[in-house]
Structure 1
């Protein structure tokens, strides 16, 4: 089994390098000398977080995705609202964008990883690279094999872009054509789209989204729609409770069968017209090569796992900051003080 996993990792590396071109500067050995502890530290913190709450695996995978689709993989999603010395707002956090507010989570896990890495390897590992390896380890913690190689060398942005987050993050009501264009905008193809959507084999979704977008969706079968309406997300479940700054939403599983296991049930559900949200079901209901990908992944776990790894690495190569661009943040939630920025370049 060990030899098989090593062989698959080598295959993933070769396939990824051929697909992203020889000009790619990210490498798998970037921290071999400067911070070899990165692997054990990230794995330990991720496993601890997932053991405490299985849903955290999906949250960490989603953080990497939502970071990379906005101005590239630069850790901008992790930044909080940031003010100038006079108290004026420099930039607004991407956490408050339409696709992220009251939705993206797992920041405390990233904070814990960053703190441990700063103790072990000060001013060395970027927050953007932490997102990449934490995403991999989170998926592996709930069933993904093999442990695919992570490419490193990203640096952190100095600012966030909520406007771009509102514009470029895919929405649950997107049609296949909209999703295809959304992925093409960042250099990803239809195979990447279908493979990366498979991350919805784990995680949760708000009943508010189910009731607003899924129940009117004619692509899911009528029996499943009735089941969602009466049993999974009945009337009233769309209403959040609690104070406005700490709302609590009714959630349901994206995969009702094995919600916390990284497997192929997501694609099997799509083939039964039981996708939880329209942007999932459209992968099956829209005529095209996407239907072949869905069928292939539904019945071939090894092929899905391999393509998920390849597509995740391709996504992680979207417009990274490298060299002298950006910085290595000391705290993932805020840019470095100006006087410390030189030290991290």
Structure 2
């Protein structure tokens, strides 16, 4: 990277850190250099595995960005979404918003295995989700590459009940979305910016038929074509529809352009434009016209989201050796703490 590019990254990171600091969510041990001594390989290992995964399937980038979001909205960014069913644990993977939808778990497993080999019992699964989300978005178009804050520890439980309660649904109104985001300390700017992740990825045709083909006050011709693309409300879960019909695998600002044309695929997206409010419509317009503004705000809001409910106390969390299961009592954890 040239000096100009490096300067842009530094400037973006400072803006992001100041934005997070202003709301009091940064923790002393959550820093961009947490693994610089204990596991500097984290950057090359995660980037290489993301490249391989996205090369095999472009959709995987969207899936991994979504995993970080769905983790942070339930009990905070603690890696709980990665836990399988076990005695005393009902996996969040089978909640209403995640069942037959959340994916990318094998990629996280592969990254974790590589990191365990390079830096045993050092990198938390929650931190893997954060950097995998960043690298996935960057791999398909987000620029510049922003710094990720590290130092999260993994939780020791999951909550399907809270996942059902707090993960936003495709039928949510704008008011419901605002309340949902506000409950975890995120504002309307964060809501509009983070929703922009839907510029990549797919949605099940079943959900399109249930919620997306009859959104009022939108492009009627577009809705008719969408109905033809997803002709049956009872189609199986494998039948998918692109969230952005033009560039479904490129991280760009087409999502906002689509909303302004009344071409959001699901109601919770289109409501950002359809709801009469000064903040949401102004941001949708700004991000549609200025991709660089979206690319500046998305990392800031992602970093802010990544600070929700983090566990940094060694006595309250752990570094799971397998992201799918809590460490057994017989395993004595030897955690390497990064030195600043």
Same-fold call, TM cutoff 0.5: yes
Contact 1:77/1:93 (8 A) holds in 2: yes
* Aligned residue among 281, 301, 314 for 1:311: 301
Partner in structure 2 of residue 33 of structure 1: 37
Contact 1:72/1:318 (8 A) holds in 2: yes
More displaced 10-residue stretch of structure 1: 334-343 or 51-60: 334-343
Partner in structure 2 of residue 332 of structure 1: 323
Partner in structure 2 of residue 321 of structure 1: 311
* Aligned residue among 132, 135, 152 for 1:134: 132
Contact 2:20/2:303 (8 A) holds in 1: no
Q: Deviations for 1:283-318, whole angstroms, at most 9, x for unmatched residues?
A: 001111100100110111111111001111000010
Displacement after TM superposition at 1:249 (Å): 2.3
For structure 2, the residue ranges without an aligned partner over 5 or more in a row are none
Displaced runs of 4 or more, over 4 A: none
TM-score (norm 1): 0.93
Partner in structure 2 of residue 294 of structure 1: 284
Contact 1:327/1:341 (8 A) holds in 2: no
* Aligned residue among 213, 217, 220 for 2:218: 220
The within-5 A match list for 1:1-345 is: 2-21=2-21, 23-25=26-28, 26-83=30-87, 90-230=88-228, 232-234=229-231, 236=232, 238-240=234-236, 248-288=237-277, 289-324=279-314, 325-344=316-335
Q: Secondary structure at the residue paired with 1:205? A: strand
Q: Deviations for 1:168-222, whole angstroms, at most 9, x for unmatched residues?
A: 0000000000001100000001000000000000000011111111122213221
Q: Secondary structure at the residue paired with 2:44? A: helix
Partner in structure 2 of residue 245 of structure 1: none
Partner in structure 2 of residue 244 of structure 1: none
CA RMSD of aligned residues (A): 1.3
Q: Deviations for 1:123-151, whole angstroms, at most 9, x for unmatched residues?
A: 00000000000000000010000000000
Displacement after TM superposition at 1:12 (Å): 2.3
Q: Secondary structure at the residue paired with 1:252? A: strand
Contact 1:186/1:318 (8 A) holds in 2: yes
Give the length in aligned residue pairs: 330
Contact 1:61/1:139 (8 A) holds in 2: yes
Displacement after TM superposition at 1:2 (Å): 2.6
Contact 2:31/2:151 (8 A) holds in 1: yes
For structure 1, the residue ranges without an aligned partner over 5 or more in a row are 84-89, 241-247
TM-score (norm 2): 0.94
| Cα distance in 2 between the residues matched to 1:219 and 1:342 | 56
